[in-house]
Amino acid sequence: MIRKFKFFFNPIDGLTKWLNKMSDKGYRLIKVDNTFFYFEECERGKYRYAVDYVANRSYESLNDYERFLKGSNIRYIEKPGSVGKISFGNIRWRPYADKGGKLATSKGMIKKEFLILEKGNDGPFEIYTNIKDQINALEIMRKPTISMLIFIGVMMIVVNFGSQSGSSFLNAETNKLISLIVLGIAEILLVINLLRFNLKIRKLKKDSNINE
């Protein structure tokens, strides 16, 4: 078994491409944790992978989906994510989720934000086969980015206008500047991600009109 560390700014497309490249090199994904991916050797190209975003689902909806995957002979691995949620101990609030999924608990949906899907390599592996479903999936995946944009924007306002009690003026201004730079970089990255989603959705809608 080999262990690899990998970070993806785009956890859907980037992770999907990387896992399929690993399969083409002769490695099958066995498990994941918060930091590492674990592989074992296999026949080159034996498996195909896709990644689905499920953090919007309720606990019951996810269970139904996983039962469907089992019935379709698709293996799945639950992968944690860390974007678009606010934590309160073992409870996390997801304002963008569907009804029944806004409060995630450690027993239910925490560390199950993505599903890595695996099947035998018998052709292309696409989760959403029509344009309408693809657009809907992208709109769902876009919601956490919008939520985080708003949250970080509020944090920047708080940092900029908040007072630094107990600190000297110089230290307070330095801390404020560092915080604003870090938050600003995060905001820029989120804007880029939002634009990427918007461009994909616009292209699919344009293709849909052409097909109609």
Residue 45: inside a domain? yes
Cα torsion at 108, 110, 115, 116 (round to 10°)? -130
Residues 163/171, Cβ–Cβ less than 8 Å: no
62: nearest Cα among 30, 110, 16, 15: 110
The pTM of this model reads 0.73
Residue finishing a domain among 120, 155, 180: 120
How confident is the model over 154-184, as pLDDT tens digits? Answer: 999 998 887 655 556 567 788 889 999 999 9
At residue 152, the pLDDT reads 93
Q: Give the helix/strand (H/E) hosting 34.
A: none
Q: Do residues 31 and 136 both lie within one domain?
A: no
Token pair recorded at residue 57: 């689902």
The residue written with tokens 């293709």 in the block is 207
Helices (H), 50-168: 59-71, 131-161
Least confident of 3-7, 21-25, 56-60, 137-141: 56-60
For residue 98, give the DSSP letter: P
Q: Which domain holds residue 86?
A: 2-120
Q: Do residues 78 and 144 both lie within one domain?
A: no
Residue finishing a domain among 92, 120, 148: 120
